[in-house]
Amino acid sequence: MAAVVLAATRLLRGSRAWGRPRLRRFSGGGAGARVPLSRPLPGAPTPVFATVDGQEEFETRVTTLENGLRVASQNKFGQFCTVGILINSGSRYEAKYLSGIAHFLEKLAFSSTSRFDSRDEILLTLEKHGGICDCQTSRDTTMYAVSADSKGLDTVVGLLADVVLHPRLTDEEIEMARMAIQFELEDLNMRPDPEPLLTEMIHEAAYRENTVGLHRFCPTENIAKIDREMLHSYLRNYYSPERMVLAGVGVEHGHLVECARKHLLGTQPAWGSPAAVAVDRSVAQYTGGVVKLERDMSNVSLGPAPFPELTHIMIGLESCSFLEGDFIPFAVLNMMMGGGGSFSAGGPGKGMFTRLYLNVLNRHHWMYNATAYHHSYEDTGLLCIHASADPRQVREMVEIITKEFISMAGTVDVVELERAKTQLMSMLMMNLESRPVIFEDVGRQVLATRSRKLPHELCALIRNVKSEDIRRVASKMLRRKPAVAALGDLADLPSYEHIQAALSSRDGRLPRTYRLFR
């Protein structure tokens, strides 16, 4: 028995047998076993590593065609590519039209064209190359995009050109778009998450009846009024080559330019002349103001159990455009404020150490949400805080938010600033690992500036942000009138004048009100 135990002990400890060290079965011999990991193994081939050839700063290539259309591309190795057309159009350009045209065009995208008789035929063509398609509109940009096998690039660009420049816009398709928009508006008003509706309201309050303050969603009263003639009138002005960018990720630039010349140069669009005649070049005018929507939120629910009745408030102040140097400090400030819902889990990456968590949600258990948002456009920007609470505590909630706005211009802790900058860089780099996100970044930057800042350039700008920059941009922002959006039971909502006074004070407190009768 003792002999068996001794043998097992030697086996487990790798003991020496016959006075010599035991070598592992797969080792390279006695000499190899003694080579430290910091040195290459003797006899092993020399590894070859990828190197940067000095062309990294030029990896996003841009070519402008004779008709003014820009072609932008970036290499990303792999079997698939993302290609699309981005257009400088959207709801901000609808001042001379009925609101909702851009919303209609989004629903009508990838419908029948001069070459394809139906949406199904378009989808079947894309399926041959493993492709999917999508169209999205915002206040200032319309984007048609396709992800497919890179070998089908010519087919994809030809399809995109046909979808953008030669849509049929039949009566049946327009009627289907009306139904889709009607359903979306009903869903917008019924969904428990009020953020999309509040975003619409805060823009309406901040830019009263101009540019980015115009309705992004088609108003109910305009659904039946928008027809093919009106859509063609809008397309004639805003779907012109000089307002477009053909962007591609995962494609060879020369091939993309060749396809663009073949399908997008010298093409006569379905609406006739390709020359724009009445383009709205209005600059956004920040007005400030308040938009209120009284609504019973007591029966909002995703299931049989109702949500707590909440009142939602969003307060915003003008920041800056994404073309200005202060855009990066504002982005860091927005990340530093952070926030989220009261029911969240995670660590620093989930925003748990941002100001709106530490100063608001962790200290005031009755608040259900406190989140910062930053919307930025080519001529303006808007920094907002959205908060939700029981209707009986609306006044206290508003005062907490105004105090947070005032504290932005105060002392900035070095640790929280570095954390916010690191989190912003991390978010930037992680998002840019996705091919569709790279495509959108390339397209939007080239559409706005005719060039693209690469991630390492943006990270360098983020690292250079100092606490003085945060205080400076916050102080400048606080000198503007606020924009306020309110949704729910608003009986205890402070007046706009009181909110403005709180944001002009030193401590952010609302003026005291006294009631003779309670």
pLDDT of residue 257: 97
pLDDT of residue 5: 46
Structure token digits, residue 237: 């002005």
Burial class of residue 43 (count of CB atoms within 10 Å of its CB; 0-12, 13-18, 19+)? exposed
> In angstroms, rounded to a whole number, what is the distance separating the alpha carbons of residues 42 and 40?
6
User: How large is the average pLDDT for residues 150-166?
Assistant: 97
User: How large is the average pLDDT for residues 377-391?
Assistant: 96
Mean pLDDT computed over every residue of the chain: 89
Task: With CA atoms as reference, report the closest residue to 461 among 433, 431, 434, 424.
Answer: 424
Least confident of 44-58, 148-162, 204-218: 44-58
pLDDT per position as a tens digit, 241-289: 999 999 999 999 999 999 999 999 988 999 987 566 778 899 999 999 9
pLDDT of residue 33: 64
pLDDT of residue 390: 94
Asked if the model's pLDDT at residue 109 lies above 90, the reply is yes
Select the more confidently predicted residue: 435 or 46: 435
- Amino acid at residue number 117: D
User: How large is the average pLDDT for residues 480-498?
Assistant: 96
For the chain, what percent of residues have pLDDT higher than 90? 77
Q: Which helix (H) or strand (E) holds 148?
A: strand 142-149
Least confident of 78-82, 158-162, 181-185, 269-273: 269-273
pLDDT of residue 299: 72
Handedness of CA 275, 380, 215, 289 (dihedral sign): negative
SS3 of 72-89? EEECCCCCEEEEEEEECC
Structure token digits, residue 9: 């002990």
For the chain, what percent of residues have pLDDT higher than 70? 87
pLDDT band, residue 2 (cuts 50/70/90): low
pLDDT of residue 512: 86
pLDDT per position as a tens digit, 337-351: 998 876 654 554 566
pLDDT band, residue 44 (cuts 50/70/90): confident
pLDDT of residue 298: 75
Residue found under tokens 């005062």: 399
pLDDT of residue 40: 80
pLDDT per position as a tens digit, 442-454: 999 999 999 999 9
Asked if the model's pLDDT at residue 405 lies above 50, the reply is yes
pLDDT of residue 344: 57
pLDDT per position as a tens digit, 288-297: 999 999 988 7
Do residues 330 and 385 touch, judged by C-beta distance below 8 A?
no
pLDDT per position as a tens digit, 210-235: 999 999 999 999 999 999 999 999 99
> In angstroms, rounded to a whole number, what is the distance separating the alpha carbons of residues 303 and 244?
44
- Residues 6 or more apart whose Cβ sits within 8 Å of residue 362: none
Asked if the model's pLDDT at residue 331 lies above 70, the reply is yes
pLDDT of residue 41: 82
Asked if the model's pLDDT at residue 131 lies above 60, the reply is yes
Structure token digits, residue 230: 């009106």
Scored b (16 or more CB within 10 A) or e, 218-240 reads beeebbeebebebbbbbbbbbbb
pLDDT of residue 493: 96
Task: Report the largest interatomic distance among the alpha carbons of the chain, rounded to a whole angstrom.
Answer: 102
pLDDT of residue 8: 46
Select the more confidently predicted residue: 39 or 302: 39
User: How large is the average pLDDT for residues 285-312?
Assistant: 85
Q: Which helix (H) or strand (E) holds 333?
A: helix 327-337
Asked if the model's pLDDT at residue 195 lies above 70, the reply is yes
Q: For 230, what's the count of Cα atoms within 13 Å in the CB-facing half-sphere? A: 18
3-state helix vs strand vs coil in the chain, percent to 5: 40, 15, 40
Asked if the model's pLDDT at residue 440 lies above 80, the reply is yes
pLDDT of residue 52: 54
Strand partners, 313: 387, 486
pLDDT band, residue 417 (cuts 50/70/90): very high
Do residues 342 and 313 touch, judged by C-beta distance below 8 A?
no
pLDDT of residue 430: 94
pLDDT of residue 11: 46
User: How large is the average pLDDT for residues 11-20?
Assistant: 47
